[in-house]
């Protein structure tokens, strides 16, 4: 029977959310396999972001009012995602239980994966909505600097594993 569990990439996305928003880290239990699978970030970014998740936006030139709005948006996002991440943890636990059956019911396994995919999709859509809300409070020049900084981090720095 095919393996219907969530991919390590999808779980890594959840771990990345926990890294980006530490308040969410306790909202779901990381499996030992996920904990062993590092999230890859450009060199240097893990230290700055661990101390201040808005470091790149500050480098792009946001002012205190923009920072206040961005922090408000991020808190709202975290609050929304906390529920989704708890749901995801439960769905993954249920899928794990199905996988441990000698002969899992194909329909149940597929239906569970559809549920998991929907929650992952919702998380991804909300993350993009957050990105767009943040960009909407920035000036065009700040957006250009932000994109430049992101591109520099992606192309100019060797990836570093973060646990």
Task: Locate the domains of the chain by residue range.
Answer: 8-162
Q: What is the pLDDT of residue 153?
A: 85
What length is written for the chain? 163
pTM to 2 decimal places? 0.62
Q: What is the pLDDT of residue 12?
A: 45
Give me the tens of pLDDT residue by residue for the chain, a chain 163 residues long. 444 344 444 444 444 444 444 444 433 333 333 333 333 334 444 444 457 889 999 999 999 999 999 999 999 999 999 999 999 999 999 999 999 999 999 999 999 999 999 999 999 999 999 999 999 999 999 999 999 999 988 886 544 444 4
């Amino acid at each position: 029977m095919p393996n219907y569990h969530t991919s390590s990439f999808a779980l890594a996305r959840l771990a990345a959310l926990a890294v980006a928003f530490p308040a969410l880290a306790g909202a779901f239990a990381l499996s030992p396999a996920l904990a062993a699978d590092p999230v890859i970030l450009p060199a240097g970014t893990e230290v700055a972001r661990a101390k201040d998740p808005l470091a790149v936006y500050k480098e792009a030139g946001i002012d205190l009012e923009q920072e206040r709005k961005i922090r408000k948006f991020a808190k709202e996002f975290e609050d929304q995602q906390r529920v989704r991440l708890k749901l995801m943890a439960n769905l993954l636990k249920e899928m794990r239980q199905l996988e441990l059956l000698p002969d899992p019911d194909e329909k149940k396994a597929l239906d569970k994966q559809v549920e998991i995919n929907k929650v992952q999709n919702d998380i991804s859509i909300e993350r993009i909505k957050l990105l767009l809300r943040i960009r909407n409070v920035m000036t065009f020049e700040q957006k250009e600097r932000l994109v430049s900084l992101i591109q520099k981090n992606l192309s100019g720095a060797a990836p570093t594993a973060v646990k």
